[in-house]
Amino acid sequence: MRNILKKMLKVCVRLLLGLILLLLGAVLFVFGKQKTEEIQAHRAIPELRAEMQPLSADHIPDNVTVLAIGEGVHGSSEFQTLKLSVLREMVEKQGYTAFALEADYSECADINRYLQSGVGKPEELVQKFSFPIYHTKEMAALLGWIQDWNRTAPEEKKVRFYGFDMQNPETGYAFLKQYSLAHGLATEAEFDAVFQNVLTPPYSINAETAGQAVAFLDGLRAKAGDADMRDADARDFQMELTTVRQAMESWTSTEDSNTLRDRDMAENVKAIRNIEAEIGSGKIVVSAHDGHIERVNPIYTGMGVLLAQDFGNDYYAIGTDVWKVRDNIKNMGEATRSIQRFVSGDPLAAQARFAEGRQYVLYFSQITKEESRVYTLVHTPMRMMQLGEGYTFLMRLLPDRSYRLKGIPSEHYDAMIFLYEAHPIEILNGSGS
């Protein structure tokens, strides 16, 4: 009996060792293949250097009314700095009057009141964002620039700050309540009866309570009637009715959450552009992750796909990519963050090491020689980095399915900004740690 057990144990050990060796071999194969691809993608492409351009509003068509600047990486300092670079170009050279961020409308409306009044410290204003990735000196610099611009700009050239997301409606709820009470649209008791446990602890939100909130918000809209868009509070009330309703509707809908969110964001961007057409230049800069602003999305119908359908050539999408990055990213399923290093495998991003400042732009409409190597490259599928706000080690094993997404650059975007290297954001006051 003992001999049989010994033999069975030996067999089990051998099977276990075999399995370990098999897994080790698979891991080594994956990482070896990944490294080989990186070496190949890093090869110099001398023909590309003649097409490298600086970031300039001079290359953006005058007819564009919605200019989107993407982020290949959320937690990178350089990508956040690009937001301000693009905004300054478009405001100073083409008279744009609005900046819209992938953040909750109500939070941004609150910040905008400070930016219009000239009071408030930008380093403190960024703490109003629900997303800790915006609690940075780079975002503070962007808010500070808008604030400074508005201090001296004539009324018709002042820049307004918007959000087009709806995932954190608490600030919107507070504003809606305040506005409704002030204008006799509802009583405090009526508000609390609907929202007391929906947006405050213990958060007893479900399809039923969310549906009640939607019906209540629709009633407020009917009572308020049409708003004068020149009245900041009145237009914020209308927009926050929409975004809080969208947040509630996500609990009542059976639709894919990504598709629903992006469709809502697209509708909010269109509404903001329409507001600006009435009170400003009608031209806005939109900032969001690359996956939201791209004209083609192979995974789901993204915001950029819908905006491109609605606005046609009046929509202009600038994607971004980087060769290597140290990313300040949230650890998935945890309340902590970490610094993780990634390499894109994008041969176009690798060429940024030859550009001035290790950064350059390709405006795809200007690359017209079909027989050239550069034309072939930008019309060929390649790996491009799209890092979201969530890290797990499995991303290392499955880079092509997690952050190295394949696509044709000139189909996804109208232009792309390429960086060779990017560094992690520093979250102010330790928020989100």
Q: pLDDT, tens digit, for every residue of 291-311?
A: 999 999 988 999 999 999 999
The reported pLDDT for the residue numbered 209 is 85
For 298-372, strand residue ranges (E) read 315-330, 337-343, 359-363
Which band of pLDDT confidence, cut at 50, 70 and 90, is reported for residue 433? very low
Phi-psi region of 159 (alpha: psi -120 to 50; beta: other; left: phi over 0): beta
The reported pLDDT for the residue numbered 432 is 42
Q: Which amino acid is at 369?
A: K
Which band of pLDDT confidence, cut at 50, 70 and 90, is reported for residue 5? low
Which residue(s) pair with 52 in the sheet?
none
Percent of residues, the chain, with pLDDT higher than 90: 72
- Alpha-carbon distance of 113 to 108, in angstroms, equals 9
Give yes or no for a contact between 259 and 301, defined as CB atoms under 8 angstroms apart: yes
The reported pLDDT for the residue numbered 326 is 96
Q: How many CB atoms lie within 10 A of CB 152?
A: 8
197-216, pLDDT tens digit by residue?
Answer: 776 666 677 888 889 889 99
Q: Which amino acid is at 7?
A: K
The reported pLDDT for the residue numbered 67 is 98
284 three-state secondary structure: strand
CA 150 to chain centre: 25
The residue among 186 and 432 whose pLDDT is bigger is 186
249-293, pLDDT tens digit by residue?
Answer: 988 888 898 999 999 999 999 999 999 999 999 999 999 999 999
The residue among 32 and 100 whose pLDDT is bigger is 100
Q: Which amino acid is at 124?
A: E
The reported pLDDT for the residue numbered 28 is 52
- Dig out the tokens for 213 from the structure: 């909130």
- Alpha-carbon distance of 8 to 118, in angstroms, equals 78
The residue among 94 and 230 whose pLDDT is bigger is 94
**Across 61-82, average pLDDT:** 96
Query: Pairing between strand 284-289 and 66-71?
Result: parallel
151-196, pLDDT tens digit by residue?
Answer: 999 999 999 999 999 988 888 888 999 999 999 999 999 988 888 7
The reported pLDDT for the residue numbered 431 is 45
The reported pLDDT for the residue numbered 266 is 98
The reported pLDDT for the residue numbered 33 is 60
Q: Where are the domains of the chain?
A: 97-282
Which residue(s) pair with 419 in the sheet?
322, 359
The reported pLDDT for the residue numbered 172 is 87
Q: How many CB atoms lie within 10 A of CB 168?
A: 19
313 three-state secondary structure: helix
**Across 46-60, average pLDDT:** 95
Angstrom CA distances, 178 to 181, 185, 233, 379, 405, stand at 5, 10, 11, 52, 45
Which band of pLDDT confidence, cut at 50, 70 and 90, is reported for residue 23? low
The reported pLDDT for the residue numbered 132 is 93
The reported pLDDT for the residue numbered 173 is 87
The DSSP code for 158 is P
Q: Which amino acid is at 101?
A: L
- Alpha-carbon distance of 399 to 395, in angstroms, equals 5
220 three-state secondary structure: helix
Q: Which residues of 205-222 are buried (b: 16+ CB within 10 A; e: fewer)?
A: beeebbeebbebbeebbe
Which band of pLDDT confidence, cut at 50, 70 and 90, is reported for residue 34? low
328-386, pLDDT tens digit by residue?
Answer: 999 998 989 999 999 999 999 999 999 999 999 999 999 999 999 999 999 999 999 99
The pLDDT mean for the chain works out to: 90
- Alpha-carbon distance of 281 to 154, in angstroms, equals 13
